[in-house]
């Protein structure tokens, strides 16, 4: 399994969606609920019969709406398509059914619309407009960027604009990310070793990081709190942080993994926390204080502290917080293809490996208090 996403619109319950990959059997979408207080995992299964799921994303506005990229196999041809779905109402907000009967009465997704890609090639991923009302979707298909407008009640998708990447050879987007800054007008895409930025209004390229990685770039993420900052990871085992205003040199490079890094994610609220998943079967949580929006080296609320002594103590504790690896999680036995932070709890994250194992972890308590206090 490769597809994992948090339920973006859900802000109360910790919920992840996982898509399965199976060529010979019906694929499913598992809705994983994690009850933080009781430490219980609850699972609901939705059938996804059209094909194996390569990518999944949820609407930021409507809890019940999600989009998948899936493989459709027909007479020795494989086509990757994308579609928007709605899940059954009762599952939207996480029903607490008992696990045993969830497997028996599997429900089916209700298809909303199909993103027609016959003219554009295989879909690599679908991105929702991060702050929007769930009406705008961008999908990457081979070398095209397609911007779709979902009509009322999302039952129809209209291609509003598109751009194509021209160049020598077969260019193929591997991944993309929609920036939450600048009124959501920028996206970043990765193809081969290059990272490109686009303006969604004009559909023009605005910056380009040639040779961002020594080999293929696998994933991107924008810093949610600091505009212009972008993280990328790739087959050279590195994670790089860029300032898109100056793309000649990375701001910072991490080299902790021993194989391809497939996924990189900023924590949504504490952007010094970086999560990476790699095919060396490890998930690494890093603390990049120096390039985060967090004040580095001094306190902001100096005047709030009445006692001088307290302040000194605070600073002493703050000081040694350096860029470092916080923890390495080795629970997976196979390559980790996806890591995601929960949208509800900023201290919780899930990782998914090829063999289908989903692991939910928390940020170490000590660090959590350290950041909060």
Instruction: Return the range that interacts with another protein (CB under 8 A); candidates 60-68, 82-90, 119-127, 330-338.
Output: 330-338
* 47 belongs to the binding site for another protein (CB under 8 A): no
Least spacing, CB of residue 43 vs another protein, in Å: 12
* 175 belongs to the binding site for another protein (CB under 8 A): no
* 93 belongs to the binding site for another protein (CB under 8 A): no
Do strands 107-108 and 40-48 pair parallel, antiparallel, or not at all (unpaired)? parallel
Using an 8 Å Cβ cutoff, are 27 and 51 in contact?
yes
Q: Of the candidates 43, 181, 252, 259, which one interacts with another protein according to CB under 8 A? A: 259
Least spacing, CB of residue 259 vs another protein, in Å: 4
Least spacing, CB of residue 136 vs another protein, in Å: 29
* 242 belongs to the binding site for another protein (CB under 8 A): no
Residue 368 has a CB neighbour count (10 Å cut-off) of 15
Instruction: Return the range that interacts with another protein (CB under 8 A); candidates 73-81, 89-97, 263-271, 299-307.
Output: 73-81
* 246 belongs to the binding site for another protein (CB under 8 A): no
Element counts in the chain: helices (H) and strands (E): 4, 28
Residue 316 has a CB neighbour count (10 Å cut-off) of 9
Site string for another protein, 200-239 (x = CB under 8 A): ----------xx-xxxx-------------------xx--
Residue in 86, 81, 84 with CA at minimum distance from that of residue 109: 86
List all residues 6 or more positions away from 88 whose beta carbon is below 8 Å from its beta carbon: 46, 64, 107, 110
Q: Of the candidates 90, 302, 310, 334, which one interacts with another protein according to CB under 8 A? A: 334
DSSP string covering 246-261? B-SS-SEEE---SS-E
Using an 8 Å Cβ cutoff, are 6 and 15 in contact?
yes
Least spacing, CB of residue 190 vs another protein, in Å: 15
Q: How far apart are CA 220 and CA 178, in angstroms?
A: 10
Count residues near another protein (CB under 8 A): 35
Least spacing, CB of residue 203 vs another protein, in Å: 27
Q: Of the candidates 23, 131, 208, 317, which one interacts with another protein according to CB under 8 A? A: 23
Nearer Cβ to another protein, position 45 or 83?
Answer: 45
Residue in 1, 28, 29 with CA at minimum distance from that of residue 16: 29
Nearer Cβ to another protein, position 54 or 347?
Answer: 54
* 279 belongs to the binding site for another protein (CB under 8 A): yes
Using an 8 Å Cβ cutoff, are 360 and 347 in contact?
no
Which sign, positive or negative, has the C-alpha torsion 78, 356, 109, 47?
positive
* 59 belongs to the binding site for another protein (CB under 8 A): no
* 258 belongs to the binding site for another protein (CB under 8 A): yes
Tell the residue number behind the tokens 């990685």, with chain if given: 213
Using an 8 Å Cβ cutoff, are 238 and 274 in contact?
no
* 16 belongs to the binding site for another protein (CB under 8 A): no
Structure-block tokens of residue 123: 């879909």
Structure-block tokens of residue 229: 């900052």
Least spacing, CB of residue 56 vs another protein, in Å: 17
**Binding site residues, another protein, CB under 8 A:** 20, 22-26, 71, 73, 76-78, 103, 210-211, 213-216, 236-237, 249, 257-260, 279-281, 330, 333-335, 354-356
């Amino acid at each position: 399994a490769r597809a994992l996403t948090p339920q973006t619109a859900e802000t109360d319950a910790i919920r992840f969606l996982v898509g399965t990959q199976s060529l010979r059997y019906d694929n499913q979408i598992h809705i994983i609920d994690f009850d933080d207080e009781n430490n219980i995992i609850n699972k609901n299964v939705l059938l996804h019969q059209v094909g194996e799921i390569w990518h999944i994303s949820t609407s930021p506005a409507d809890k019940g709406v999600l989009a998948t990229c899936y493989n459709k196999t027909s007479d020795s041809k494989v086509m990757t398509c994308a579609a928007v779905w709605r899940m059954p109402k009762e599952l939207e907000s996480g029903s607490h059914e008992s696990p045993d009967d969830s497997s028996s009465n599997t429900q089916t997704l209700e298809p909303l619309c199909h993103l027609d890609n016959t003219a554009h090639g295989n879909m690599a991923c679908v991105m929702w407009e991060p702050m929007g009302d769930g009406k705008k979707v961008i999908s990457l298909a081979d070398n095209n960027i397609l911007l779709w407008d979902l009509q009322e009640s999302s039952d129809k998708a209209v291609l509003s604009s598109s751009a194509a990447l021209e160049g020598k050879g077969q260019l193929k987007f591997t991944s993309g990310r929609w920036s939450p800054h600048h009124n959501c007008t920028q996206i970043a895409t990765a193809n081969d070793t290059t990272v490109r930025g686009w303006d969604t209004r004009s559909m023009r390229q605005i910056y380009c990081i040639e040779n961002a990685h020594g080999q293929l770039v696998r994933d991107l993420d924008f810093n949610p709190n600091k505009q212009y900052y972008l993280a990328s990871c790739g087959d050279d085992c590195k994670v790089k942080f860029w300032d898109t205003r100056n793309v000649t040199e990375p701001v910072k490079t991490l080299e902790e993994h021993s194989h391809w890094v497939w996924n990189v994610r900023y924590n949504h609220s504490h952007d010094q926390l970086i999560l990476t998943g790699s095919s060396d079967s490890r998930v690494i949580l890093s603390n990049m204080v120096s390039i985060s929006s967090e004040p580095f080296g001094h306190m902001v609320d100096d005047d709030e502290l009445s006692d001088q002594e307290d302040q000194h103590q605070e600073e002493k504790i703050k000081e040694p917080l350096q860029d470092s690896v916080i923890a390495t999680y080795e629970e997976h036995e196979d390559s980790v293809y996806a890591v995601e932070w929960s949208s509800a709890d900023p201290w919780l994250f899930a990782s998914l490996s090829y063999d289908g194992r989903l692991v939910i972890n928390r940020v170490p308590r000590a660090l959590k208090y350290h950041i909060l206090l």
